[in-house]
Amino acid sequence: MKSKFQIEVEIPTLEEFAAKYPPYGNWAREQGRPIFDLLTEPENFLRARFATELGLPAVAGIAHLCEAIFGEGLKNDFFVKQAIGAIVATLLEANGFVKTGERKAITQKSFTKGMTYKEKT
């Protein structure tokens, strides 16, 4: 017997993202568009959410995807890493999560720390 799993995920638009995080808007519209589209897929919300539920920074759930796209260059590209964090923040906040204000260490090649989130009460 097969079981089905279904969840509703609010996906922020590129324009909503750009309005909330203007420094990254043009980047997300142009060279960052593929990563914006990838990270805002529903399954990547689930990855970020699961990392959050484990007490990890949300970016820990999607860091491996970003490293696969950007390679070793991501480690020293602080602008892109900040943009990735902003995309994850927008996605989580659109789905009822808020920043805790606490940054925790991540054991990924390209990311050292990331923001933690909790469900809005």
Identify the burial level of 88 via C-beta atoms within 10 angstroms of its C-beta, where 0-12 means exposed, 13-18 middle and 19 or more buried.
buried
At 6 the pLDDT is: 85
What predicted TM-score, i.e. pTM, was given to this entire model?
A: 0.93
Tokens representing 29 are: 């519209």
At 5 the pLDDT is: 80
**Per-residue pLDDT tens digits of the chain, which is 121 residues long:** 888 888 899 999 999 999 999 999 999 999 999 999 999 999 999 999 999 999 999 999 999 999 999 988 899 999 999 999 999 999 999 999 999 999 999 988 899 999 999 999 8
